[in-house]
Structure 1
């Protein structure tokens, strides 16, 4: 790439430190960043529309003579202009105006405006249009190209951005843009020329197809989308290759512990569990690091698969670390594994951020001395945690951790020389679109079978005006010997306020359901308190558990067959599906009641309708991706992953198979092209591609 395009934005005319800081907010540091800062949409200012042809909702350039300009004192004081051009008339309305502006509008003067046409009290109107007064003889030319509207930030106007992008394009013409894709690849996939695509998208001609551009279907957009997706693929493939090049402990397939463990279970694993278990066992027996993602719907038995994998490592004389995103889930795993592994005389320890003082020091000591299984939260990343012989890292709910976080545990491998195997589990099924792009560095296994005895969950959507009816339903279910959850959410992200809401609901329900025993769990409680309440709920001593969304994953109480979720419209589909998965774990027919507060937004209605229609986690994941977008769904916004500038994973999903093939070709035939592509598209996001 030429030095002129690599130069910082401060080399452009009019860019000082203050403007450079604003540009940095939207990721614009170099001239090339501006070249690839493409418009979100376009305005057509290339033609003047006659006033008689205007329609409400239309953006248009108009020209006419001023008939009158008066200040109108209605509910809001405004300056009203009346225009005509011989074919019709329109009103221009300004709520914010100066006396000088008012005086500049004289009857008979010509004016050109651009704005949105609306239906108003006096017929068609434009509010606060852009305008320019014309002299009697002046003939102002219209724009020759469509007007770009760029992504921007506070204090950075469209006009300023257009000027800067124009400067960058001028430099690009003087110092041609390097095409990082081999010509053979461009021809094979019919991609077109890079520089022509960039030029077109910044300045589409007047006759450009706006509808095609709005849908992202234009050849110039496809050219850049393909290159950006290809770069992300190459980055993740490079990451995979770098990890696979490292040595890992080869763990022989278990001869004793797994058989003893399965014998004591009292039931046979599903065929899906057996198949995925065999895939993992084969991976673990190799001297290169396993990188495997296990997807399974809620209740598909991922923890059992993880236990079998852990036993293979432990039997070979190594340590296993299991990492969960929340303290509650870490506790649940600890209790499960303690119950399973105690008869096998396997020692385990747990470590979370809340563990302090002597207890923490003692557990750190046990980890360093070689305790077989360590269960914890992100506290396992900390430098003070030293493993004796870590060979397997199991990460639950991967989408809660960034790529960087899961890679950090690699450094804690055997004596820092051998890279641990990685088993990543998620009960949030990942749509194929995302799996192909976000997890290109991982092999994927799917648990597509539920254990026998699981009953389908019936879901109903009710307005919170029927709260009394719902409370009576809870009473009836609990009196009949079943148990229930009541989940509280708040629109405010504050954990403190959500906990207060749970406490208030707990007080109210305790009064109204005085004959039942209620328990309360929220994030501010101490670990021991939460564990005690959960044990009471599991044993049946507590009929109704009032909780925040901390019970989203890991809680397994087969007798609980009723779930109430208050304000479900405030949660994403994946989270609702996870919460619903806490019931339906026994033989009784289970129900989930979504108690919403009217009025619902469009997205809220869509989400609740999907929950009512299906219990299939993969269908729900696809819909969640459509509604919320990949960054939010994966929880990766903070890591730099999936922050596409141009590509849209839903819109451009059809390109992904070709992109994957192209990435393999580039890696094998043109490896020298990878570094320039990474510099162009991931200049500050390469940390996950070059670990």
Structure 2
């Protein structure tokens, strides 16, 4: 919206410069358009009036019509309060104010009738309301039948009478003034197909609902619109990319056939086979692949990635795999080296620790094409790293790389932009994936290999520690290894958390017969790697660590994960940490340690972990608890564009909106048809403030 909607809010009758400055600072409201989009976050039922004798403790906010009997000031200094004694035909009650006493006192003449609105509380036998909203009774409001909008506000605004009611009064002036100028932003076809209310009526009903049904329709329309344009922008980026960039045709399957016939060490799951087919379809299409592969811990993403590299190499191209840390890059290298050598393919590792002579050889062999697979960290992005023909770039743990860093991969092949495969072990709820990665194709490996035993998870309190130590000892006697994870590295005065160093010392005292490793994020990379390798080789039985082990560590012999102060971790972190065990043939366990007193959300998180091993179910619970803006650094993803829609609650509407956007572009890819003029106008308007999408393209 532009034109009249760009008018500064101070010019609206009843606002002025002082209130406008407060609205700017407190609510980021600068213009008519900003004010119009400051939607209510809930509604209060003003359709019912209560008699005083009908009040009870279970009621929330209610409205009462009562007359002023008398008003008195009680107490002195900071304890001074204004008490209005009011009555109706059924009884008496008190209205009490602790602030704004002089202003309120002037408004309450004896005998006057008011509508009071607030939460009733009973003191002794008398009912009372503290700081109720109030307005004189008129013929109109005595018989009103509406839902009162409640707007978010702040203490500073309330001090200047810009509480929810004050904001509503501003909108009572604004909405009629701009109503006829509100443009329709959806086509007649979309409005009809999805039975949506028009934009003008939706704006009116969201602020001043005339019935519950119309309010519901208004909210549906405005949510749909937000989702629709969010998805439309992403899909247009995708269309633009596929039209603009050709992809290298990688269709030869000779190496893959050889691998399947002679070398593959186990049967692929049906989910792995499906995802491989999707990748092959992309790579042979002539269009550049941008595909996200989601898979829970242990679902076999690495094997899928290796098979994708075989498809690339079989057609004469090279492949690289970029990991976020040296530990993870090393692990990928060790995991894939055997398969590559089995197939007669040269593979190398390039990280910040790679020595100069080895780097020189890698650079030469990349350029002459002898080196087929390069695995590494950000070191792969250096300008000096040049490939003869990079056909496939695999990025592990996408959200740990910036957009600019990933874009550097594109410069590694002058003729064709490489196909890009993003792998993440962080399960993402479908609604979030559609938004974060809406311009990528998404594949999901939703099946674990046969024979894998589910990890048994239990929740234990601090009082159970000796029993837990006994269990740890039993597992080590069987030849297993144990992780013990702490949330902090140094002492915190603010939080009563287990300290890693204290924990290390107490574990050493409890298990003097065993060798311990210790790993934290502040250690030098070589020290961290040394400690990690000791554990991997079985030289130590217990690893005491912070969440630095959250991603990618693979020790099949480790069978127990103990997480201290588990209530302090998010669900995603807990799930990733649990995934460090359960990688061998033996039964594995996760023990969640916590204090006894837990918040409601903490208890839900721990109960969820005990109930299920399904990463996607866990991610859905996490989305409901934390909201989308908190997950995976989504502040830069466009999700903050959403004013009224909610990814965690409006999934069905998001799916409808995406379907509508896909259907629209399928029929009119450049939005040139007359019926889509309003949509094209809105897209151009939004392009002016487009965000930097979390995407590869």
Q: Same fold (TM over 0.5)?
A: yes
Counterpart position of 2:184:
179
- Counterparts of residues 354-503 of structure 1 (less than 5 Å): 372-376=372-376, 389-400=389-400, 404=403, 408-409=407-408, 411-415=410-414, 418-490=416-488, 501-503=499-501
- Counterparts of residues 332-343 of structure 1 (less than 5 Å): 332-338=331-337, 340-341=339-340
Counterpart position of 2:575:
577
Secondary structure of the 2:298 match is coil
Counterpart position of 2:605:
607
Counterpart position of 2:541:
543
Which range moves more in the overlay, 546-555 or 47-56?
A: 47-56
> Equivalents in 1 of 2:456, 2:694: separation in Å?
44
Secondary structure of the 2:572 match is helix
Which range moves more in the overlay, 73-82 or 160-169?
A: 73-82
Q: CA distance change for structure 1 residues 100 and 189 in 2, over 3 Å: closer, same or farther?
A: closer
CA deviations on 1:378-420 (whole Å, 9 max, x unpaired) are 6766888776654323222335557x468634643512x5322
Cα deviation, residue 310, structure 1: 2.6
Check if 1:677 corresponds to 2:682: yes
* Aligned positions, number: 675
> Equivalents in 2 of 1:111, 1:363: separation in Å?
87
> Equivalents in 2 of 1:357, 1:15: separation in Å?
67
Alpha carbons 1:453, 1:586 under 8 Å: kept? no
CA deviations on 1:221-262 (whole Å, 9 max, x unpaired) are 112222222212211211211221211222243533884699
Gaps of 5+ in 1: none
Counterpart position of 1:324:
323
Alpha carbons 1:387, 1:413 under 8 Å: kept? yes
Counterpart position of 2:89:
86
Counterpart position of 1:280:
279
Cα deviation, residue 469, structure 1: 1.8
Alpha carbons 2:84, 2:96 under 8 Å: kept? yes
Secondary structure of the 1:223 match is helix
Check if 1:255 corresponds to 2:245: no
> Equivalents in 1 of 2:18, 2:103: separation in Å?
34
Counterpart position of 2:348:
348
> Equivalents in 1 of 2:357, 2:26: separation in Å?
44
Q: CA distance change for structure 1 residues 642 and 173 in 2, over 3 Å: closer, same or farther?
A: closer
Alpha carbons 1:295, 1:445 under 8 Å: kept? yes
Cα deviation, residue 322, structure 1: 2.8
Which range moves more in the overlay, 254-263 or 578-587?
A: 254-263
Secondary structure of the 1:308 match is helix
CA deviations on 1:292-346 (whole Å, 9 max, x unpaired) are 2222221011012112223433454545343334554344334434555466452
After TM superposition, the score normalised by the length of structure 2 is: 0.84
Alpha carbons 1:258, 1:308 under 8 Å: kept? no
Alpha carbons 2:275, 2:443 under 8 Å: kept? yes
Alpha carbons 2:95, 2:131 under 8 Å: kept? yes
Counterpart position of 1:511:
509
Counterpart position of 1:241:
239
Alpha carbons 1:326, 1:377 under 8 Å: kept? yes
After TM superposition, the score normalised by the length of structure 1 is: 0.85
Counterpart position of 1:309:
308
Counterpart position of 1:522:
520
Which range moves more in the overlay, 644-653 or 92-101?
A: 92-101
- Counterparts of residues 552-591 of structure 1 (less than 5 Å): 552-591=550-589
Q: CA distance change for structure 1 residues 438 and 99 in 2, over 3 Å: closer, same or farther?
A: closer
Counterpart position of 1:58:
60
Counterpart position of 1:147:
148
Counterpart position of 1:169:
175
Secondary structure of the 1:204 match is coil
Q: CA distance change for structure 1 residues 616 and 74 in 2, over 3 Å: closer, same or farther?
A: farther
- Counterparts of residues 185-196 of structure 1 (less than 5 Å): 185-196=190-201
Q: CA distance change for structure 1 residues 65 and 235 in 2, over 3 Å: closer, same or farther?
A: same
Secondary structure of the 1:218 match is helix
> Equivalents in 2 of 1:390, 1:607: separation in Å?
43
Cα deviation, residue 492, structure 1: 11
> Equivalents in 1 of 2:206, 2:412: separation in Å?
48
> Equivalents in 2 of 1:577, 1:470: separation in Å?
20
CA RMSD of aligned residues (A): 4.1
Gaps of 5+ in 2: none
> Equivalents in 2 of 1:606, 1:412: separation in Å?
46
Q: CA distance change for structure 1 residues 188 and 275 in 2, over 3 Å: closer, same or farther?
A: closer
Q: CA distance change for structure 1 residues 457 and 91 in 2, over 3 Å: closer, same or farther?
A: same
> Equivalents in 2 of 1:327, 1:82: separation in Å?
73
> Equivalents in 1 of 2:367, 2:18: separation in Å?
54
